[in-house]
Structure 1
Amino acid sequence: MKSHAATLLAEVRTFRQNHPDVRYVDLIALDIPGHFYGKRYPIEMLEKVAAGSPLKLPQNAVLLGAQGGLFKIGDYCFNDGDPDANRRLVPGTLKPVNWESQPLGQMLITSDGTEAPIEFEPREVLAKVLERLHHKGIHPVVAFELEFYLFDKKLDNGLPQFARDPLSDDADDQPNLHIERLSRFSEVLDDMAQTAKDQGIDITVITAELGPGQFEINFGHQGDGLCAADWAALFCRSTRGVALKHGYRASFMAKPYLQFPGSGMHVHVSLYDGAGNNLLAAHQQQPLRHAVAGCLELLPHCMPIFSPNHNAFRRLGGTVNAATRACWGFEDRDACVRVPESDPRNLRIEHRLASADANPYLVLAAILVGLEHGLDAKREPIPPLNEDRASGTDFPVEMLDAVRAMQHQAVVRDKLGAEFVDVYCENKRQDHLAFQQEIHAREYRWFL
C-alpha cells in the first residue's frame, strides 16, 4: 500500500513540476451511458489524495441517464440515502488538458480495486471479467478503432451542419474515402492525434471514412484490457474538446445521417496464454471457431451494450459494413465478427457491431464474455458468410426487446454480474421511455 501511494505521489509531484501553471485537475470516471462525471480538485488536494486521503463521490453518479437525470432503479437513487462510495486514482493517467482556455489537468478515478467496488461501475465490470480470465490463464490483447464525424460548430435549429472545408470554406458534403480529406482537415486531425498521444494513448492509423466529414482513428494493441478501454474513453473526451477549439463539433453519435454510414466501435481481440502463445491459433484454429460461436450465441443478449440508445439501433443495416444479423466471416466487413487475415501469432477476431458511442468498458467486457463462453462450451459456429451469405441469427433491433433478451440470459448474468445486468437494463429501459416522452413535429404533421 505504501509503495502504491508513493508511486501516485511521485506522479502528482512530477506533474506539478512539469506543469506549474496547472491549478486544478478534473478527476473523472465513466458512467453507464458512457459520459464522464467527476470533480475538479485543486492540485494541492490531489497530493493529499495520492498520499492516502479518502476520495469519495456519490455511488449513484454511475447510474445517471443519458441526459444526466437519476432513475429509480431498485432501491438505488431514492431509497438508499444517496451514499458516497470510495474511488481511487488510476496510476499513469494524470495528464495535461490542452483544449481548455486555462491550464488544467485530468486523471481517471475508479471504484475497482477499492475495498467495496461498485458492482455496476463499467470499469469494475470489465476488471472482474479480466481477473477471471487471468485466473484461467487467458490474457487478452486488445485494440480499439473509433469512427466519428466532424460537424460545423454551429447547429441549424438543433440539426448538425456539414463541416466546412478549411481550404475552400465549402461544406464537406461529399462522401468519399479520399486521402485528400486528411490533408484538408490536417490541422484539427493532427491536433487530435497529438492531444491523444499527450494523454498516453497510442494512436496509429487515421482514415478518411465514407461519410462526409467522417474519420476513423485506430489505437495500438494493448495487453492491459483496462488500459485499452481507458484509451477509448479518454480519446472521445479529448477529441470533442480539440474539435471545439478548431471551430468544429466532433461526435461519436452512431447514426447522425440516415443516408450516410454510421459510426462504429471496432474491437480487435487476441487471446494468449502465460507463455505468449496465441490460444485461438492452437489445434488448427479450433479454439477460434469455438470463440466465434460463443460470441455469436451471446451477441443477441448483449445488444443494449452494443447499441446503447435509440439512435444506435438506426445504424444497424441499410448501409455498408453494418450487420443486420449475428454472423461471422473471414476478411468480411459485413460480418459482426470478422476474422482478419493474419499469421498464427496475431490471429484475432474483430468485433464490429458496437456503435461508436457505446461504453468501451462494457463493450470489451461483453466481447470477452462471449469469447470465454465459446472456449468453455466448445461448440461449432454457424457457417461463415464466405460459405453462405444468408448465414446468421437474428438479434433484437429495438431497445425494449433488447433489454428483455439481456436481463434474463443466464450466462450473461453469471459472467457480467446479475446486479450489473439488472441495473444496466433498468437504466436503458428508463432512458428509452424518457426519450419517448416528447412529441416530435413529425407526429403533428402526420396525425394532427
Structure 2
Amino acid sequence: MKSHSSTLLAEVRTFRQNHPDVRYVDLIALDIPGRFYGKRYPVEMLEKVAAGSPLKLPQNAVLLGAQGGLFKIGDYCFHDGDPDANRRLVPGTLKPVSWEAQPLGQMLITSDGTEAPIEFEPREVLAKVLERLHRKGIHPVVAFELEFYLFDKKLNDGLPQFARDPLSDDPDDQPTLHIERLSRFAPVLDDMVQTAQAQGIDITVVTAELGPGQFEINFGHLDDGLRAADWAALFCRSTRGVALKHGYRASFMAKPYLQHPGSGMHVHVSLYDAAGNNLLAAHQQQPLRHAVAGCLALLPHCMPIFSPNHNAFRRLGGTVNAATKACWGYEDRDACVRIPESDPRNLRIEHRLASADANPYLVLAAILVGLEHGLDAAQEPIAPLNEDRTSGHDFPLEMLEAVRAMQQQPVLREGLGAEFVDVYCENKRQDHLAFQQEINAREYRWYL
C-alpha cells in the first residue's frame, strides 16, 4: 500500500510540475448508463488523496439514469441514507484537459481494489470477471473500435444537422468511405487523435464510414482489459469536447438517422495462457468454436448491455452490417460474432453487436462471460453464416423484453454478479419507462 501511494504521489507531483497552470482536476468514473460523474478537486487536495487521505463519493451516484436522476431500486437511493463509498485513484490516468476554456486535469477513480467495492459499479464488474479469468489461467487481449457522427454544433428544432463540410454546403456531398472526407475534416479529426494520445490512448486507424459525417476510430490491442475499457470511455469524453471546440457536436448515439447506418462498438478479444499461447487456436481451433457458442448462447440475455437504451434498438433493424440474430461467421460483417482472418497467434473474435453508446466496461464483461461459458460448456456452435445465411438465434428487440431475458439468466447472474444484474435491469427498466412518459407530436397527428 505504501509503495502504491508513493507511485500515485509521484504521478501527481510530476503532473503539477509539468502543468503549473492547472488548479483543478476532475475525478471521474463511469455510471451505469455510461456517463461520467465525479468531483472537481483542487490539485493540492489531490496530492493529499494520493498520499493516502480518503476519497469518498456517494455510492448511489453509480445508479444515475440516462438524464442524471435517481430511480428507486430496491433499498438503494431512497431507503439507505445515501451512504458514501470509498474510491481510489487509477494510476496512470492523470492527464491534462485541453478542450476546456480553462486549464484542467482529469483522472479516473474507481471502487474496485478498495476494501468494499461497489458491486454494481461497471469497472468493478469487469475487474471481477478479469480476476476470475486470470485465476483460470486465461488472459484476454482486447481492442475496441468506436463509430461516431459529427453534427453541426447547433440543433435545428432539436434535430441534428449534418456537419458542415468545409468544401461544400450540400449535405449529400460527403464522400462515404473515401479518404477525401478525412482530409476535409482533418483539423478536428487530427485534434481528436492528438488529444486522445495525450490521454495515453493508442489510436491506430481512422476511417470515414458510410453515414454523412460518420467516422470510426480503432484503438491498439491491450493485455489489460480494464485499461482497454478506460481508453474507450475516455475517448468518448475527449472527442465530445474537441468537437465543440471546432464548432461541431460529436455523438456516439446508436442511431441518429433512420436512413443512415448506426454507430457501433466493435470489440476484438483473443485469449492467451500464461506462456503467451493463443488458447483459441489450440486443437484445430476447437476452443474458438466453443467460445463462439458460449457468446451466442448468452447474447440474447445481454441485450440491455449491448443496446442500453430505446434508440440503440433502432440500430438493429437490418441496416448495413447490423445483425438481427445472434449469429457468427468468418470474415462476415453481417455477423454478431465475426472471426477476422488472421494467423494462429492473433486468432480472435470480433464482437460487433454493441452500440457505440454502450458502457464499455459492461460490454467487455458480458463478452468475456460468454467466452468463459463457451469454454466451460465445450459445445459446438450453430452453423456460421458462410454456410447458412439464415443461421442464428433470435434476440429481444425492445428493452422490457430484453430486461426480462437478462434478469433470470443463471450464467449471467453468476458471471456478472446477481446484485449487479438486478440493479442494472431495474435501472434500464426505469429509464425506459421514464422515456415513455412524454406524448410526442406524431401521436397527436395520428390519434387526436
The answer (yes or no) to whether the contact 1:290–1:378 under 8 Å persists in 2 is yes
The answer (yes or no) to whether the contact 1:173–1:213 under 8 Å persists in 2 is no
The answer (yes or no) to whether the contact 1:163–1:172 under 8 Å persists in 2 is no
CA-CA distance at 1:381 after TM superposition: 0.1
In 2: Cα distance, 1:183 partner to 1:176 partner: 12
Q: Deviations over 1:291-331 (max 9, x none)?
A: 00000000000000000000000000331100000000000
In 1: Cα distance, 2:245 partner to 2:311 partner: 27
The answer (yes or no) to whether the contact 1:210–1:261 under 8 Å persists in 2 is yes
Question: Percent identity between the aligned chains?
Answer: 91
CA-CA distance at 1:166 after TM superposition: 1.6
The answer (yes or no) to whether the contact 2:30–2:122 under 8 Å persists in 1 is yes
The answer (yes or no) to whether the contact 2:174–2:181 under 8 Å persists in 1 is no
SS, match of residue 140 in structure 1? strand
Q: What residue is the counterpart of 2:185 in the other structure?
A: 185
Q: What residue is the counterpart of 2:6 in the other structure?
A: 6
In 2: Cα distance, 1:183 partner to 1:205 partner: 14
The answer (yes or no) to whether the contact 2:70–2:77 under 8 Å persists in 1 is yes
The answer (yes or no) to whether the contact 1:327–1:337 under 8 Å persists in 2 is yes
Q: Evaluate the alpha carbon distance shift between residue 156 and residue 386 of structure 1 in structure 2; reply closer, same or farther with a 3 A threshold.
A: same
The answer (yes or no) to whether the contact 1:162–1:172 under 8 Å persists in 2 is no
The answer (yes or no) to whether the contact 1:175–1:211 under 8 Å persists in 2 is no
In 2: Cα distance, 1:296 partner to 1:309 partner: 21
The answer (yes or no) to whether the contact 1:406–1:412 under 8 Å persists in 2 is yes
Q: Evaluate the alpha carbon distance shift between residue 286 and residue 337 of structure 1 in structure 2; reply closer, same or farther with a 3 A threshold.
A: same
Gaps of 5+ in 2: none
CA-CA distance at 1:170 after TM superposition: 4.3
SS, match of residue 250 in structure 1? strand
SS, match of residue 87 in structure 1? strand
Q: Deviations over 1:49-73 (max 9, x none)?
A: 0000000000000000000000000
The answer (yes or no) to whether the contact 1:165–1:172 under 8 Å persists in 2 is no
In 2: Cα distance, 1:351 partner to 1:285 partner: 18
TM-score between both structures, scaled by the size of structure 1: 0.99
The answer (yes or no) to whether the contact 2:171–2:212 under 8 Å persists in 1 is no
In 2: Cα distance, 1:138 partner to 1:173 partner: 48
Q: Evaluate the alpha carbon distance shift between residue 311 and residue 362 of structure 1 in structure 2; reply closer, same or farther with a 3 A threshold.
A: same
CA-CA distance at 1:276 after TM superposition: 0.1
**Most deviating of 213-222 and 314-323:** 314-323
The answer (yes or no) to whether the contact 1:290–1:379 under 8 Å persists in 2 is yes
Q: Evaluate the alpha carbon distance shift between residue 17 and residue 170 of structure 1 in structure 2; reply closer, same or farther with a 3 A threshold.
A: farther
CA-CA distance at 1:169 after TM superposition: 4.5
Q: Evaluate the alpha carbon distance shift between residue 173 and residue 424 of structure 1 in structure 2; reply closer, same or farther with a 3 A threshold.
A: farther
SS, match of residue 66 in structure 2? coil
Residue 332 of structure 2 is aligned to residue 368 of structure 1: no
Q: Deviations over 1:1-59 (max 9, x none)?
A: 10000000000000000000000000000000000000000000000000000000000
The answer (yes or no) to whether the contact 2:165–2:174 under 8 Å persists in 1 is no
In 2: Cα distance, 1:118 partner to 1:173 partner: 49
The answer (yes or no) to whether the contact 1:141–1:221 under 8 Å persists in 2 is yes
The answer (yes or no) to whether the contact 1:182–1:208 under 8 Å persists in 2 is yes
Q: What residue is the counterpart of 2:136 in the other structure?
A: 136
In 1: Cα distance, 2:174 partner to 2:319 partner: 16
Q: Deviations over 1:226-259 (max 9, x none)?
A: 0000000000000000000000000000000000
The answer (yes or no) to whether the contact 1:301–1:402 under 8 Å persists in 2 is yes
Q: Evaluate the alpha carbon distance shift between residue 166 and residue 130 of structure 1 in structure 2; reply closer, same or farther with a 3 A threshold.
A: same
In 1: Cα distance, 2:57 partner to 2:210 partner: 42
SS, match of residue 406 in structure 2? helix
Gaps of 5+ in 1: none
TM-score between both structures, scaled by the size of structure 2: 0.99
Q: What residue is the counterpart of 1:15 in the other structure?
A: 15
Tell me the matched-pair count. 448
SS, match of residue 223 in structure 2? coil
CA-CA distance at 1:141 after TM superposition: 0.1
CA-CA distance at 1:174 after TM superposition: 4.2
The answer (yes or no) to whether the contact 1:162–1:173 under 8 Å persists in 2 is no
CA-CA distance at 1:176 after TM superposition: 1.2
CA-CA distance at 1:171 after TM superposition: 3.3
